[in-house]
Protein backbone atom coordinates (compact mmCIF):
# COMPACT_ATOMS: atom_id res chain seq x y z
CA UNK A 1 0.00 0.00 0.00
CA UNK A 2 2.99 2.33 0.37
CA UNK A 3 5.68 2.92 -2.20
CA UNK A 4 7.96 0.51 -0.36
CA UNK A 5 5.46 -2.30 -0.73
CA UNK A 6 4.71 -1.47 -4.36
CA UNK A 7 8.39 -1.45 -5.31
CA UNK A 8 9.62 -4.10 -2.89
CA UNK A 9 11.09 -6.21 -5.65
CA UNK A 10 13.40 -3.38 -6.73
CA UNK A 11 14.66 -2.80 -3.18
CA UNK A 12 14.79 -6.23 -1.48
CA UNK A 13 16.73 -4.86 1.48
CA UNK A 14 14.44 -1.89 2.04
CA UNK A 15 13.32 -1.13 5.62
CA UNK A 16 9.72 -1.97 6.56
CA UNK A 17 7.06 0.51 5.40
CA UNK A 18 6.01 3.53 7.43
CA UNK A 19 3.13 2.93 9.88
CA UNK A 20 -0.40 3.89 8.80
CA UNK A 21 0.10 4.08 5.04
CA UNK A 22 -3.37 5.55 4.66
CA UNK A 23 -2.56 8.76 6.53
CA UNK A 24 -3.37 11.91 4.48
CA UNK A 25 0.33 12.60 4.02
CA UNK A 26 3.55 10.64 4.50
CA UNK A 27 7.26 10.76 3.77
CA UNK A 28 8.76 7.78 2.07
CA UNK A 29 12.27 6.89 3.11
CA UNK A 30 12.34 3.27 2.00
CA UNK A 31 12.22 3.08 -1.79
CA UNK A 32 15.08 5.19 -3.14
CA UNK A 33 16.59 5.69 -6.54
CA UNK A 34 20.24 4.93 -7.25
CA UNK A 35 21.26 8.48 -6.39
CA UNK A 36 19.65 8.22 -2.94
CA UNK A 37 16.76 10.59 -3.62
CA UNK A 38 13.28 9.58 -2.57
CA UNK A 39 11.03 8.61 -5.45
CA UNK A 40 8.00 10.10 -3.74
CA UNK A 41 9.20 12.78 -1.33
CA UNK A 42 6.43 14.27 0.79
CA UNK A 43 2.98 13.99 -0.69
CA UNK A 44 -0.60 14.43 0.37
CA UNK A 45 -3.25 12.18 -1.14
CA UNK A 46 -5.45 15.26 -1.32
CA UNK A 47 -3.02 17.21 -3.51
CA UNK A 48 -2.30 16.94 -7.20
CA UNK A 49 1.18 15.49 -7.57
CA UNK A 50 2.71 14.17 -10.75
CA UNK A 51 4.32 10.79 -10.48
CA UNK A 52 7.98 11.04 -11.37
CA UNK A 53 9.25 9.39 -14.57
CA UNK A 54 11.54 7.21 -12.46
CA UNK A 55 8.64 5.93 -10.40
CA UNK A 56 6.48 5.39 -13.49
CA UNK A 57 9.23 3.32 -15.12
CA UNK A 58 9.65 1.19 -12.00
CA UNK A 59 5.91 0.60 -11.66
CA UNK A 60 5.63 -0.26 -15.34
CA UNK A 61 8.53 -2.71 -15.18
CA UNK A 62 7.09 -4.28 -12.04
CA UNK A 63 3.66 -4.80 -13.55
CA UNK A 64 4.95 -6.34 -16.77
CA UNK A 65 7.25 -8.68 -14.81
CA UNK A 66 4.39 -9.76 -12.56
CA UNK A 67 2.06 -10.39 -15.50
CA UNK A 68 4.70 -12.40 -17.37
CA UNK A 69 5.22 -14.48 -14.24
CA UNK A 70 1.48 -14.92 -13.77
CA UNK A 71 1.05 -16.12 -17.35
CA UNK A 72 3.88 -18.62 -17.00
CA UNK A 73 2.97 -20.01 -13.57
CA UNK A 74 -0.83 -19.81 -13.43
CA UNK A 75 -3.29 -21.88 -15.38
CA UNK A 76 -5.61 -19.28 -16.91
CA UNK A 77 -9.07 -20.77 -16.49
CA UNK A 78 -11.90 -20.28 -18.94
CA UNK A 79 -13.70 -17.91 -16.51
CA UNK A 80 -10.52 -15.81 -16.29
CA UNK A 81 -10.25 -15.74 -20.08
CA UNK A 82 -13.88 -14.62 -20.25
CA UNK A 83 -13.13 -11.79 -17.84
CA UNK A 84 -10.05 -10.79 -19.87
CA UNK A 85 -12.07 -10.67 -23.08
CA UNK A 86 -14.88 -8.69 -21.48
CA UNK A 87 -12.56 -6.08 -19.98
CA UNK A 88 -10.59 -5.65 -23.20
CA UNK A 89 -13.81 -5.46 -25.22
CA UNK A 90 -15.22 -2.81 -22.89
CA UNK A 91 -12.00 -0.82 -23.21
CA UNK A 92 -12.01 -0.91 -27.01
CA UNK A 93 -15.66 0.09 -27.03
CA UNK A 94 -15.00 3.06 -24.73
CA UNK A 95 -12.19 4.41 -26.89
CA UNK A 96 -14.14 3.98 -30.13
CA UNK A 97 -17.38 5.51 -28.85
CA UNK A 98 -16.50 8.29 -26.48
CA UNK A 99 -13.18 9.69 -27.71
CA UNK A 100 -14.55 10.27 -31.21
CA UNK A 101 -14.72 14.05 -31.73
CA UNK A 102 -17.68 13.84 -34.12
CA UNK A 103 -19.61 11.84 -31.53
CA UNK A 104 -18.77 14.42 -28.85
CA UNK A 105 -19.92 17.26 -31.12
CA UNK A 106 -23.22 15.48 -31.69
CA UNK A 107 -23.67 15.20 -27.93
CA UNK A 108 -22.92 18.87 -27.36
CA UNK A 109 -25.65 19.81 -29.83
CA UNK A 110 -28.39 18.35 -27.58
CA UNK A 111 -27.18 19.61 -24.19
CA UNK A 112 -29.03 22.70 -22.80
CA UNK A 113 -25.80 23.99 -21.30
CA UNK A 114 -27.03 27.44 -20.24
CA UNK A 115 -29.94 25.89 -18.36
CA UNK A 116 -27.68 23.33 -16.71
CA UNK A 117 -25.16 25.97 -15.63
CA UNK A 118 -27.95 27.99 -14.07
CA UNK A 119 -29.12 24.95 -12.13
CA UNK A 120 -25.53 24.14 -11.14
CA UNK A 121 -25.22 27.58 -9.57
CA UNK A 122 -28.10 26.68 -7.27
CA UNK A 123 -26.38 23.43 -6.30
CA UNK A 124 -22.89 24.88 -5.89
CA UNK A 125 -23.38 25.72 -2.21
CA UNK A 126 -23.28 22.01 -1.32
CA UNK A 127 -21.13 20.60 -4.13
CA UNK A 128 -17.96 21.47 -5.96
CA UNK A 129 -18.42 23.36 -9.22
CA UNK A 130 -17.74 20.24 -11.27
CA UNK A 131 -20.08 18.01 -9.29
CA UNK A 132 -22.82 20.65 -9.26
CA UNK A 133 -22.91 20.55 -13.06
CA UNK A 134 -22.92 16.75 -13.02
CA UNK A 135 -25.85 16.78 -10.57
CA UNK A 136 -27.73 19.19 -12.83
CA UNK A 137 -26.93 16.93 -15.79
CA UNK A 138 -28.26 13.87 -13.95
CA UNK A 139 -31.53 15.64 -13.16
CA UNK A 140 -32.04 16.80 -16.74
CA UNK A 141 -31.08 13.45 -18.25
CA UNK A 142 -33.56 11.50 -16.12
CA UNK A 143 -36.47 13.93 -16.03
CA UNK A 144 -36.39 15.47 -19.50
CA UNK A 145 -34.10 13.62 -21.89
CA UNK A 146 -34.15 9.82 -21.58
CA UNK A 147 -36.97 7.38 -20.82
CA UNK A 148 -37.01 3.87 -19.38
CA UNK A 149 -38.45 0.99 -21.37
CA UNK A 150 -40.24 -1.93 -19.77
CA UNK A 151 -41.99 -2.73 -23.04
CA UNK A 152 -42.68 -0.30 -25.86
CA UNK A 153 -46.27 0.77 -26.59
CA UNK A 154 -47.72 -0.83 -29.71
CA UNK A 155 -46.57 1.16 -32.73
CA UNK A 156 -49.86 0.39 -34.49
CA UNK A 157 -52.57 1.09 -31.88
CA UNK A 158 -50.64 2.52 -28.93
CA UNK A 159 -51.80 -0.25 -26.62
CA UNK A 160 -49.84 -2.19 -24.02
CA UNK A 161 -47.42 -4.87 -25.12
CA UNK A 162 -45.73 -7.85 -23.51
CA UNK A 163 -42.36 -9.39 -24.18
CA UNK A 164 -42.43 -12.03 -26.92
CA UNK A 165 -38.78 -12.99 -27.07
CA UNK A 166 -35.98 -11.58 -29.20
CA UNK A 167 -34.59 -11.88 -32.70
CA UNK A 168 -31.63 -10.84 -34.79
CA UNK A 169 -31.54 -7.13 -35.67
CA UNK A 170 -32.14 -6.03 -39.22
CA UNK A 171 -29.32 -4.68 -41.36
CA UNK A 172 -30.68 -1.16 -40.82
CA UNK A 173 -30.82 -1.61 -37.04
CA UNK A 174 -27.20 -2.80 -37.06
CA UNK A 175 -25.96 -0.06 -39.36
CA UNK A 176 -27.81 2.90 -37.84
CA UNK A 177 -27.50 2.04 -34.17
CA UNK A 178 -25.13 -0.87 -33.72
CA UNK A 179 -27.94 -3.08 -32.38
CA UNK A 180 -26.74 -6.45 -31.12
CA UNK A 181 -30.21 -7.92 -30.66
CA UNK A 182 -33.82 -6.84 -31.02
CA UNK A 183 -36.62 -7.55 -28.54
CA UNK A 184 -40.13 -8.31 -29.74
CA UNK A 185 -43.04 -6.71 -27.87
CA UNK A 186 -46.49 -8.08 -28.80
CA UNK A 187 -49.63 -5.98 -28.45
CA UNK A 188 -52.07 -7.36 -25.87
CA UNK A 189 -55.19 -5.94 -27.56
CA UNK A 190 -57.30 -8.77 -29.02
CA UNK A 191 -58.13 -6.68 -32.08
CA UNK A 192 -54.47 -5.90 -32.80
CA UNK A 193 -51.76 -8.42 -31.86
CA UNK A 194 -49.10 -6.43 -33.71
CA UNK A 195 -45.44 -7.02 -32.77
CA UNK A 196 -43.28 -3.94 -32.15
CA UNK A 197 -39.52 -4.22 -32.49
CA UNK A 198 -37.23 -2.83 -29.76
CA UNK A 199 -33.64 -2.71 -31.07
CA UNK A 200 -31.08 -2.61 -28.24
CA UNK A 201 -28.87 0.08 -29.73
CA UNK A 202 -25.19 0.36 -28.75
CA UNK A 203 -24.25 3.46 -30.72
CA UNK A 204 -24.40 6.45 -28.32
CA UNK A 205 -24.95 8.89 -31.20
CA UNK A 206 -28.08 6.98 -32.22
CA UNK A 207 -29.19 7.06 -28.59
CA UNK A 208 -29.02 10.88 -28.61
CA UNK A 209 -32.13 10.80 -30.82
CA UNK A 210 -33.64 7.42 -29.80
CA UNK A 211 -33.59 8.48 -26.13
CA UNK A 212 -34.98 5.32 -24.60
CA UNK A 213 -33.81 2.00 -23.22
CA UNK A 214 -32.63 0.38 -20.02
CA UNK A 215 -29.52 0.91 -17.92
CA UNK A 216 -27.12 -0.05 -20.73
CA UNK A 217 -28.53 2.54 -23.13
CA UNK A 218 -28.83 5.14 -20.37
CA UNK A 219 -25.22 4.85 -19.23
CA UNK A 220 -23.93 4.58 -22.80
CA UNK A 221 -25.53 7.86 -23.86
CA UNK A 222 -24.77 9.61 -20.57
CA UNK A 223 -21.07 8.70 -20.78
CA UNK A 224 -20.77 10.35 -24.20
CA UNK A 225 -22.50 13.50 -22.93
CA UNK A 226 -20.24 13.78 -19.88
CA UNK A 227 -17.14 13.17 -22.02
CA UNK A 228 -18.27 15.81 -24.51
CA UNK A 229 -18.39 18.34 -21.66
CA UNK A 230 -14.68 17.74 -21.03
CA UNK A 231 -14.85 15.63 -17.88
CA UNK A 232 -12.65 12.69 -17.01
CA UNK A 233 -15.27 9.94 -16.97
CA UNK A 234 -15.22 6.18 -16.88
CA UNK A 235 -17.90 3.58 -17.51
CA UNK A 236 -18.50 1.26 -14.55
CA UNK A 237 -19.73 -2.27 -15.25
CA UNK A 238 -21.34 -4.21 -12.41
CA UNK A 239 -21.05 -7.86 -13.40
CA UNK A 240 -24.37 -8.60 -11.66
CA UNK A 241 -26.09 -6.61 -14.43
CA UNK A 242 -26.01 -2.86 -14.00
CA UNK A 243 -23.88 -0.02 -15.34
CA UNK A 244 -23.19 3.59 -14.34
CA UNK A 245 -20.33 6.11 -14.52
CA UNK A 246 -17.68 7.66 -12.31
CA UNK A 247 -16.55 11.25 -12.79
CA UNK A 248 -13.24 12.67 -11.60
CA UNK A 249 -13.66 15.65 -9.27
CA UNK A 250 -10.63 17.94 -9.25
CA UNK A 251 -11.73 19.58 -6.01
CA UNK A 252 -11.74 16.38 -3.96
CA UNK A 253 -9.21 14.45 -6.05
CA UNK A 254 -11.35 11.34 -6.37
CA UNK A 255 -13.66 9.41 -8.67
CA UNK A 256 -17.31 10.06 -7.82
CA UNK A 257 -20.18 7.64 -8.45
CA UNK A 258 -22.97 8.93 -10.76
CA UNK A 259 -25.99 6.83 -11.80
CA UNK A 260 -28.18 8.52 -14.41
CA UNK A 261 -30.91 5.86 -14.16
CA UNK A 262 -31.45 6.70 -10.50
CA UNK A 263 -30.48 10.40 -10.62
CA UNK A 264 -27.98 9.53 -7.92
CA UNK A 265 -24.63 11.17 -7.17
CA UNK A 266 -21.93 9.95 -4.77
CA UNK A 267 -23.88 7.11 -3.17
CA UNK A 268 -21.69 4.09 -3.94
CA UNK A 269 -23.35 1.86 -1.33
CA UNK A 270 -26.73 2.29 -3.04
CA UNK A 271 -26.61 -1.13 -4.71
CA UNK A 272 -25.51 -3.23 -1.76
CA UNK A 273 -27.28 -1.39 1.07
CA UNK A 274 -30.26 0.02 -0.83
CA UNK A 275 -31.08 -2.42 -3.62
CA UNK A 276 -29.82 -5.47 -1.75
CA UNK A 277 -27.56 -6.68 -4.59
CA UNK A 278 -25.08 -9.49 -4.08
CA UNK A 279 -22.11 -7.91 -5.83
CA UNK A 280 -19.18 -9.74 -7.43
CA UNK A 281 -16.99 -7.70 -9.78
CA UNK A 282 -17.29 -4.00 -10.57
CA UNK A 283 -14.80 -2.87 -13.22
CA UNK A 284 -14.33 0.73 -14.41
CA UNK A 285 -12.94 1.39 -17.90
CA UNK A 286 -11.79 4.52 -19.72
CA UNK A 287 -8.99 5.68 -21.96
CA UNK A 288 -6.91 5.86 -18.75
CA UNK A 289 -7.16 2.10 -18.19
CA UNK A 290 -9.18 -0.48 -16.26
CA UNK A 291 -9.64 -0.65 -12.48
CA UNK A 292 -11.42 -3.05 -10.14
CA UNK A 293 -13.45 -0.53 -8.12
CA UNK A 294 -15.50 -3.12 -6.20
CA UNK A 295 -14.16 -1.98 -2.77
CA UNK A 296 -15.83 1.40 -3.30
CA UNK A 297 -19.25 -0.24 -3.61
CA UNK A 298 -19.23 -2.82 -0.84
CA UNK A 299 -18.65 -3.10 2.88
CA UNK A 300 -18.36 -6.88 2.63
CA UNK A 301 -15.55 -7.43 0.15
CA UNK A 302 -14.23 -10.57 1.83
CA UNK A 303 -17.65 -12.24 1.58
CA UNK A 304 -18.20 -11.58 -2.14
CA UNK A 305 -18.42 -14.47 -4.57
CA UNK A 306 -15.47 -13.73 -6.90
CA UNK A 307 -14.50 -16.92 -8.68
CA UNK A 308 -13.16 -15.85 -12.06
CA UNK A 309 -9.53 -15.91 -10.96
CA UNK A 310 -7.27 -15.10 -8.01
CA UNK A 311 -7.18 -11.51 -6.77
CA UNK A 312 -3.46 -11.28 -7.59
CA UNK A 313 -4.11 -12.45 -11.14
CA UNK A 314 -6.93 -9.93 -11.63
CA UNK A 315 -4.99 -7.03 -10.13
CA UNK A 316 -1.91 -7.76 -12.22
CA UNK A 317 -3.94 -8.15 -15.41
CA UNK A 318 -5.83 -4.87 -14.90
CA UNK A 319 -2.70 -2.93 -14.01
CA UNK A 320 -0.87 -4.25 -17.06
CA UNK A 321 -3.76 -3.24 -19.33
CA UNK A 322 -3.79 0.16 -17.62
CA UNK A 323 -0.08 0.73 -18.16
CA UNK A 324 -0.40 -0.19 -21.83
CA UNK A 325 -3.37 2.13 -22.22
CA UNK A 326 -1.68 5.05 -20.45
CA UNK A 327 1.46 4.62 -22.57
CA UNK A 328 -0.72 5.07 -25.65
CA UNK A 329 -2.19 8.40 -24.49
CA UNK A 330 -1.24 11.14 -26.95
CA UNK A 331 0.10 13.85 -24.64
CA UNK A 332 2.50 13.87 -21.71
CA UNK A 333 0.04 15.92 -19.67
CA UNK A 334 -2.71 13.37 -20.27
CA UNK A 335 -0.42 10.55 -19.20
CA UNK A 336 0.60 12.41 -16.06
CA UNK A 337 -3.05 13.08 -15.16
CA UNK A 338 -4.00 9.45 -15.80
CA UNK A 339 -1.17 8.12 -13.61
CA UNK A 340 -2.08 10.57 -10.87
CA UNK A 341 -5.75 9.57 -11.00
CA UNK A 342 -4.75 5.91 -10.82
CA UNK A 343 -2.43 6.43 -7.86
CA UNK A 344 -4.85 8.50 -5.77
CA UNK A 345 -7.73 6.15 -6.59
CA UNK A 346 -5.67 3.12 -5.58
CA UNK A 347 -5.01 4.67 -2.19
CA UNK A 348 -8.72 5.27 -1.65
CA UNK A 349 -9.69 1.77 -2.73
CA UNK A 350 -7.09 0.29 -0.39
CA UNK A 351 -8.49 2.53 2.34
CA UNK A 352 -11.96 1.05 1.80
CA UNK A 353 -10.51 -2.45 2.10
CA UNK A 354 -8.87 -1.48 5.37
CA UNK A 355 -11.89 0.41 6.72
CA UNK A 356 -15.12 -0.68 4.94
CA UNK A 357 -17.16 1.93 6.83
CA UNK A 358 -15.20 4.83 5.32
CA UNK A 359 -17.13 6.59 2.56
CA UNK A 360 -16.57 10.22 1.64
CA UNK A 361 -19.78 12.11 1.04
CA UNK A 362 -22.01 9.26 2.20
CA UNK A 363 -23.66 9.31 5.60
CA UNK A 364 -23.85 5.95 7.28
CA UNK A 365 -27.17 7.01 8.79
CA UNK A 366 -28.79 7.72 5.42
CA UNK A 367 -31.48 5.28 4.30
CA UNK A 368 -30.57 4.15 0.82
CA UNK A 369 -33.60 3.29 -1.35
CA UNK A 370 -34.29 0.26 -3.48
CA UNK A 371 -34.18 0.54 -7.25
CA UNK A 372 -36.67 3.00 -8.76
CA UNK A 373 -36.34 2.27 -12.50
CA UNK A 374 -38.30 -0.52 -14.14
CA UNK A 375 -41.62 -2.17 -13.34
CA UNK A 376 -42.22 -3.36 -9.79
CA UNK A 377 -42.50 -6.95 -11.03
CA UNK A 378 -39.18 -6.74 -12.87
CA UNK A 379 -37.38 -5.18 -9.90
CA UNK A 380 -38.89 -7.67 -7.48
CA UNK A 381 -37.81 -10.58 -9.69
CA UNK A 382 -34.25 -9.23 -9.60
CA UNK A 383 -34.37 -8.73 -5.83
CA UNK A 384 -33.65 -5.00 -6.13
CA UNK A 385 -36.58 -3.44 -4.28
CA UNK A 386 -34.56 -3.25 -1.06
CA UNK A 387 -35.97 -3.87 2.40
CA UNK A 388 -38.69 -2.42 4.59
CA UNK A 389 -39.55 1.23 4.15
CA UNK A 390 -36.99 1.61 1.39
CA UNK A 391 -38.68 -1.16 -0.61
CA UNK A 392 -42.11 0.37 -0.09
CA UNK A 393 -40.84 3.74 -1.30
CA UNK A 394 -39.12 2.17 -4.31
CA UNK A 395 -42.31 0.32 -5.27
CA UNK A 396 -44.04 3.67 -5.70
CA UNK A 397 -41.35 5.01 -8.04
CA UNK A 398 -41.66 2.92 -11.18
CA UNK A 399 -40.60 4.92 -14.21
CA UNK A 400 -43.21 4.58 -16.97
CA UNK A 401 -42.10 3.31 -20.39
pLDDT, position 17: 42
Per-residue pLDDT of the chain (401 residues; tens, 9 = 90+): 334 344 333 344 444 443 333 333 333 434 333 444 444 443 333 334 455 666 666 666 666 666 566 555 555 678 888 999 999 999 999 999 999 999 999 999 999 999 999 999 999 999 999 999 999 999 999 999 999 999 999 999 999 999 999 999 999 999 999 999 999 999 999 999 999 999 999 999 999 999 999 999 999 999 999 999 999 999 999 999 999 999 999 999 999 999 999 999 999 999 999 999 999 999 999 999 999 999 999 999 999 999 888 898 899 899 889 988 998 898 888 988 999 999 999 999 999 999 888 765 454 446 899 999 999 999 999 999 987 544 445 444 444 33
Contacts 24+ apart (CB under 8 A), 184-190: 185/151, 185/152, 185/154, 185/161, 186/161, 186/162, 187/154, 187/156, 187/157, 187/159, 187/160, 187/161, 188/159, 188/160, 188/161, 188/162, 189/154, 189/157, 189/159, 189/160
Q: Are 267 and 386 in contact (CB under 8 A)?
A: no
Instruction: Measure the CA–CA gap between 316 and 297, rounded to whole angstroms.
Output: 21
Residue 20 region, left (φ>0) first, then alpha (ψ -120 to 50), else beta?
left
What DSSP string describes 219-231?
A: HHHHHHHHHHTT-
pLDDT, position 316: 86
The total of other beta-carbon atoms located within 10 Å of residue 28's CB is 19
Q: Is 42 helix (H, G, I), strand (E, B) or coil?
A: strand
- DSSP class of residue 180 equals S
pLDDT, position 362: 56
Instruction: Measure the CA–CA gap between 224 and 235, rounded to whole angstroms.
Output: 10
pLDDT, position 238: 98
pLDDT, position 8: 39
Specify which residues 247 forms β-bridges with.
233, 256
Query: Counting beta carbons within 10 angstroms of the beta carbon of residue 91, is it exposed (0 to 12), middle (13 to 18) or buried (19 or more)?
Result: buried
The pTM for the full model equals 0.82
Contacts of 227 (CB under 8 A, 6+ apart): 98, 99, 104, 107, 233
φ, ψ of residue 385 to 5 degrees: the values are: -80, -15
Specify which residues 249 forms β-bridges with.
254
Q: Are 180 and 198 in contact (CB under 8 A)?
A: no
Contacts of 140 (CB under 8 A, 6+ apart): 112, 115, 116, 119
Nearest C-alpha neighbor of 249 from the set 345, 128, 337: 128
Could you tell me the CA-to-CA distances from 52 to 37, 41, 49, 333, 337 in Å, in that order? 12, 10, 9, 12, 12
Active-site annotation, residues: 215, 242, 259
pLDDT, position 20: 34
pLDDT, position 359: 67
Amino acid sequence: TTCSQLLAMTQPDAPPPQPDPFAPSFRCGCARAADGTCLFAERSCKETAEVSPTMQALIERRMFEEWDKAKSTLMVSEPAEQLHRRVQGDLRSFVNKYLNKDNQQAALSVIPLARLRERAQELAQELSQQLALIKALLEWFKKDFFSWVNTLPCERCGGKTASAGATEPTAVERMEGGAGRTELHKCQALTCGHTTRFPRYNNPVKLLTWRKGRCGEWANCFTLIVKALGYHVRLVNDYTDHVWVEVWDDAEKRWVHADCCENCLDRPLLYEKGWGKKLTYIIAVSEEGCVDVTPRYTQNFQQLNRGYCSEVHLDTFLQTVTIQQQAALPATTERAAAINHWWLDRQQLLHFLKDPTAREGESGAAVLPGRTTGSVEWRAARGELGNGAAAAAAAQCAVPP
